[in-house]
Amino acid sequence: MEIIEAIVLGLIQGLTEFLPVSSSGHLVLFQNLFGIHEATQAFSILLHVATLIAVFIYYWKDIWELICHPFQRTTALLIAATIPTVVIALLFNDTFNSIFGTGKFIGFNFILTSLILLYADSRTGGKKKIRNMSIFDSLIVGTMQGVAILPAVSRSGMTISTCLARGMDRENAARFSFLLSIPAILGGMVLTIKDMLTGEVVLTEALGTVPMIAGFIAASVSGYFAIRFMVNIIKNGKLKWFSLYVFILGTVLIVDQFFLHMIVK
């Protein structure tokens, strides 16, 4: 892998992990467009570590509070929200990958994300803070996060939209969504490592130190600014522009899939 390819993948991972446009969908899209493939699963794990660092830097006060006082309501809510995500991932991840992993439904899934974002943008937001959430609220958010294992269905879009639907104010919806990304990203890393250890993923040649460092920096820096950008966007209720973007993208991909055959093979 060339340095520029590593940087491109790092930027895509960092930006789309937190913008409600689906990181998995964009990685599939760019791989089809430019023939760029992650050379090793180790590189994928490295990019996920970089995005985790972005979350830790932006929400360091919240995370430090959770570390210092682990037995609190926020911890219980995050655990409750993580449980259905884990169950869905363990039960359906292989099935979803076999059905949707080829990219054939990527256009339709982008449009699904668009509709979810349009709904979220129409919500003025309630008054609930994280501390006011119920366990049932968390379970619903976690379930919708689990649905986002589908390629081109945005994890942040699903969780933020569900938080708003459950009556949370916009700032706390964003905070809970991004804090919830920590166990979600860690879980994805664990599944990848498991596949590596069991031989279900075959590693290719080594990337080289410089491309790995370049990709890592690109993912962490872009991820941090994506979080900052998204928090401001959510506060101001401008998710409709992301909705329009992924709707157009999904439509283009559907047209290509059935008529042009240039992107979706």
Res. 68: pLDDT tops 80: yes
Phi first, then psi: what are they for 101, rounded to 5°?
Answer: -65, -20
Question: Among 21-30, 58-67, 131-140, 246-255, which is the least confidently predicted range?
Answer: 21-30
Q: Position of tokens 């964003």?
A: 174
* CA distances to 11, 85, 114, 179 from 227, in Å: 13, 22, 19, 11
Res. 203: pLDDT tops 50: no
* Rounded Cα gap, residues 265 and 261, in angstroms: 6
pLDDT tens digits, 131-187: 999 999 999 999 999 998 888 888 989 999 999 989 999 889 999 999 999 998 888
Q: What is the pTM of this model?
A: 0.85
